[in-house]
Amino acid sequence: MANSVLNIIKIGGNVIDDESQLDSFLEKFSALSGKKILVHGGGKIATRLANELGIQAQMVEGRRVTDEDMLRVVTMVYAGLTNKTIVAKLQKLKCDAVGLSGADGDVIKAIKRPVKDIDYGFVGDLLHDSVNTLAIKKFLEAGFVPVFSAITHNGLGQLLNTNADTIASSLAVSLASLYETSLVYCFEKNGVLRDITDENSVIPAIKSEEFEYLKESGVVNEGMIPKLQNAFNAINKGVQEVYIGNANNLHLFQQGQFGTCLTLK
């Protein structure tokens, strides 16, 4: 049974790649009251470092293929440089953060993605029981703010590269049994837009049945569809609400004015 409120915030690479934008976002994040978790993606740093090391980055349909060399790079960047930079910046803001990969405290276990048409290499997929909720609860109840990179492990000594959106969603679903959990996806748009060319055309709220209509009418299309499908999947599994909005507007979240709010009913 949920006993208090928990907000899980996910930021993408566009925030991480811009230091001033990251600093501004982290100020807003640190000011959020109550229990909270930050999940971050990787940005372009891993690709740049790979190029400098002569390692060719491979992408298939927007998904990174992670061979052994690339796994070393993304682990160094995501779980190392990026994660610890964020933690250090939060400590400066008096936000007592602790940086975690899935291997730390055995908090997120994954399985290597099975090879079908494409071999994605050391990419980890999450299962329904991948998240160690009790371990994460210990951090939260001790007053720490967990900051998760997108690196997981298989429990047998192998690190895996896992999609950060999926990690955020899985954390929210798992922790919804312990807390009243909201999931917040921060990206570069102001929310789900009725008109993709008009940043002010934000749809403030979408319920499950309205999502189907918005898809059929073409208002929601392309890259936004999987985001919303993941969001409603989380809601169907116990997450209170999912928000999608601009990272620059996070300070409006606890005022009820942030982006698009997705709910079951």
Mean pLDDT, rounded, of the chain: 93
Q: Is 254 exposed, middle or buried (0-12, 13-18, 19+ CB in 10 A)?
A: middle
Look at residue 3 in the predicted model and tell me its pLDDT.
63
Residue 80 has pLDDT above 70, yes or no: yes
Q: Which amino acid is at 214?
A: L
pLDDT of residue 88: 98
Q: Quick one: average pLDDT of 75-89?
A: 97
Query: What percentage of residues in the chain have a pLDDT greater than 90?
Result: 76
In this prediction, residue 90 has a pLDDT band, given cuts at 50, 70 and 90, of very high
pLDDT at residue 2 is higher than 80: no
Specify whether the CB–CB gap between 67 and 160 falls below 8 A.
Answer: no
Q: What tens digit of pLDDT does each residue of 11-47 get?
A: 988 899 999 999 999 999 999 999 999 999 887 899 9
Could you tell me the pLDDT band of residue 178, with boundaries at 50, 70 and 90? very high
Average pLDDT of 77-90? 97
Residue 64 has a pLDDT of: 82
Q: Which residues contact 3 (CB under 8 A, 6 or more apart)?
A: 178, 179
CB atoms within 10 A of CB 33: 8
Going by C-alpha positions, the residue among 98, 117, 48 that lies closest to residue 76 is: 48
- Cβ density class 199-225: b for 16+ within 10 Å, e for less: eeebbeebeeeebeebeeeebbeeebe
* Whole-number pLDDT of residue 230: 84
Do the annotations mark residue 64 as ligand-binding?
A: yes
**CA 86 to CA 99: how far, in whole Å?**
8
Residue 181 has pLDDT above 90, yes or no: yes
CA angle 136, 138, 142 (to 5 degrees): 125
- Determine whether the annotation assigns residue 80 to a binding site: no
Q: Is the pLDDT of residue 245 over 90?
A: yes
pTM: 0.94
Q: How confident is the model at residue 158 (pLDDT cuts 50, 70, 90)?
A: very high
Q: Is 102 annotated as a binding residue?
A: no
The tokens of 164 are what? 């950060």
Beta bridge pairs of residue 39: 10, 148
Task: Give the residue from 223, 201, 219 showing the smallest Cα distance to 210.
Answer: 219
CA distance 43 to 57: 13
DSSP characters over 43-63: TTHHHHHHHHTTPPPEEETTE
Better-scored residue on pLDDT, 209 or 160: 160
> What average pLDDT does the segment 190-204 reach?
91
Residue 191 annotated as lining a ligand binding site: no
| Rounded distance between C-alpha atoms, residue 177 and residue 63, angstroms | 31
Q: Which of 103, 125, 112, 104 minimizes the C-alpha distance to 68?
A: 112
Domains of the chain (ranges plus CATH)? 5-263 (3.40.1160.10)
Whether the pLDDT of residue 1 is over 60: the answer is: no
Q: Is the model's pLDDT at 171 over the cut of 70?
A: yes
Kindly tell me the sign of the dihedral angle through the C-alpha atoms of 3, 33, 173, 79.
negative
Residue 226's pLDDT band (boundaries 50, 70, 90)? confident
Neighbours of 193 (CB within 10 A): 18
Enter the tokens of residue 160: 């895996």
Q: How far apart are CA 183 and CA 116, in angstroms?
A: 31
Q: What is the mean pLDDT of residues 111-117?
A: 94
